[in-house]
Amino acid sequence: MLVRVALTGEVRDLPCLSVSWDELMEVANEQGVLALMYDGYGVYAKTGTLQMSLVDKTNLYGNVKIAERRYETQERLVEKLARLYNENGLRMMVLKGYGLSRLYPVTNHRQCSDVDIYLYGDQQRGDQLIEERWGIKVSNEHHHHTEFVVDGVLVENHYDFINVHAHSSSPKIERELKALAEKEDGEEFQIGDTIVYGMPPTLGVIFMLRHTAQHFAAMHVEIRHLVDWLLFTGKYRDNVDWELVNRVATENGLARFMEAFDKLAHSLVEDVELNDIENRIMGDIWEPWCRDGGPTEGFWRVWWFKGNRWWNNRWKNRLVYKESLADQVWTLIKSRFVKRGGKEMKRLRG
């Protein structure tokens, strides 16, 4: 309800709270909407219908200020990156986080972690500039993006929008996304004296759908992702090629997930009756099988955890992928060898 009022400004009667503010803040932080909770509380506090102790209020305010400072650091970084690239003839698209934050009622209340960018096919030149001009080492340890850290912020420079090695359907979706990046312009916005581009409407919907589905199937998603979808599709709905979106979703087994996810996103701001699968997805958002990435040391411990996670999440895999579970396992094994082979070639060359 606090998220709803933050997004709509509509004040409604609050349900009886059976948990403490500490617990609410912990859950809101896990779901990536702590700052939205703060905005919602502010609306109710003005009406006198909801109050919290000075200690709880100070705790909430302090955590929101930390998130705002982190956002400001990221915004300065986005401006700094875009300026470097623009001065060298490169355009920069911002994926996810910072780009989506501009759709939020309070821009710096979209909690972000890293910065994801796309340079319209000039990823290698972009990385070269980072190393030559700023002396920062760029890591090439991932399948579909490189990584580097600037001013304490992790940047993922995508040469592919999605990991084309992860599933057999991924290369086809990637081709659609690359074609849309060339064909369709995203919204242009200015930070200081620098131009940055947001995700084009149709590309943004397909990318968010597949990216969110992959996170959902592999681990979990958060209320923040529902808010992102709600705000992006709400603003650009009339500019999206829904015929193309529906074709891509149907051909790749994403149609049922997209329908459910869209309905769940609207349930944040509307009274919506959910069916069994939608309730199951929402239940997994609130209480996933595992919220963190599991152990990082010990070969057998890591693989035992990943195997258990995959087995417990197989219903989610069936919901978001057209490939059989056997095909998914085989593709995953191949992708591991591709990744390991790439690292070994890099080691031999170095």
- Distance set, CA 205 to CA 60, 173, 236, 248, 262 (Å): 32, 12, 9, 11, 11
Q: Across residues 133-148, what is the average pLDDT?
A: 92
* Spatial contact of 219 and 186, defined as CB atoms under 8 Å apart: no
Cα separation, 116 vs 130, in Å, equals 15
Query: How many whole angstroms separate alpha carbon 107 and alpha carbon 7?
Result: 12
Mean pLDDT of 191-199: 93
Read off the pLDDT of residues 237-246 as tens digits, 9 standing for 90 and up. 999 999 999 9
The 10s digit of each residue's pLDDT in 108-136 is 999 888 999 999 999 999 999 999 999 99
Helices (H), the chain: 2-8, 21-30, 34-47, 54-87, 97-101, 123-134, 170-183, 201-218, 223-236, 242-251, 255-266, 276-286, 299-312, 314-320, 325-349
State residue 346's pLDDT score: 42
Q: Parallel, antiparallel, or unpaired for β 153-158 and 115-118? A: parallel
CA geometry: angle 129, 204, 126, nearest 5 deg? 5
The confidence band for 349, taking pLDDT boundaries of 50, 70 and 90, is: very low
Q: Is the pLDDT at 79 greater than 50, yes or no?
A: yes
Q: What is the pLDDT of residue 338?
A: 53
Q: What is the pLDDT of residues 45-76, one digit of tens each?
A: 888 778 888 999 999 999 999 999 999 999 99
The predicted structure's pLDDT at residue 303:
82
Residue 337 confidence class, pLDDT cut points 50, 70, 90: low
pLDDT of residue 298 exceeding 90, the answer is no
The model's confidence at residue 97, banded by pLDDT at 50, 70 and 90, is confident
Please state, in angstroms and rounded to a whole number, the distance separating the CA atoms of residues 270 and 291. Answer: 27
242-262 mean pLDDT: 96
More confident: 27 or 347? 27
Q: What is the pLDDT of residues 1-51, one digit of tens each?
A: 889 999 998 887 776 666 688 999 999 999 999 999 999 988 888 887 788
- Of 44 and 148, the structure prediction assigns the larger pLDDT to 148
- Three-state DSSP state, 78: helix
How many other β-carbons are positioned within 10 Å of the β-carbon of residue 327?
14
- The pLDDT-based confidence of 160 (bands split at 50, 70, 90) is very high
pTM score over 0.85: yes
In this predicted structure, the answer to whether residue 219 has a pLDDT above a threshold of 90 is no
